[in-house]
Amino acid sequence: MGTKKVFRIKKNSDFSRIFNHHQSFANRYFVVYIDSQPEQIKEMLKHWRIGLSVSKKIGKAHDRVSIKRQIRESFNCISGRIRQDYDYVVIARPSIKGHKQEFFIEQIVHILKQAGTIDE
């Protein structure tokens, strides 16, 4: 099952808010910016939201789209464990290219544990 569009961050104003009032956590493969959701969104959705950024350094368009899909699927796999009242912006680093889905999940869980926004 894919991430519903309502759970994706698309607006530039949302990205700017998260980057300006963020906490960031990183490893070799991802940088994750985390910020609590605005009250009106928190009450309306009651679900985490995700924004993605994949650089052209990673490769051609089909490579970038594939990585975005794998990141979204990783969040879906661990959805029940993620704190619901946060917005997440995930930036993929070029070293993630070529890895399997299980590795994506493992690295996302690692970063979210650092952030303290995932249940054990």
% of the chain surpassing 90 pLDDT: 74
Query: Where along the chain do its domains lie?
Result: 5-115
Coil, strand, or helix at residue 97? coil
Q: Where are the beta strands (DSSP E) in the chain?
A: 23-26, 30-36, 49-54, 86-92
Pair 26, 114: CB distance under 8 Å: no
The closest alpha carbon to 72, from 105, 100, 94, 35, belongs to 105
Fold that domain 5-115 belongs to in CATH:
Ribosomal Protein S5; domain 2 (3.30.230)
Q: List 52's β-bridge partners, or say none.
A: 90
Q: Which helix (H) or strand (E) holds 61?
A: helix 61-77
User: Mind listing the pLDDT tens digit for each residue in 20-46?
Assistant: 987 899 999 999 999 998 888 888 888
The pTM of the full predicted model, rounded to 2 decimals, is 0.90
Integer distance in angstroms from the first to the last C-alpha of the chain? 23
Give the span between the Cα atoms of 78 and 47, in whole angstroms: 13
Of 5-9, 28-32, 47-51, 90-94, least confident by mean pLDDT is 5-9
In this prediction, residue 49 carries a pLDDT of 92
Label residue 22 exposed, middle or buried (CB < 10 Å: 0-12, 13-18, 19+): middle
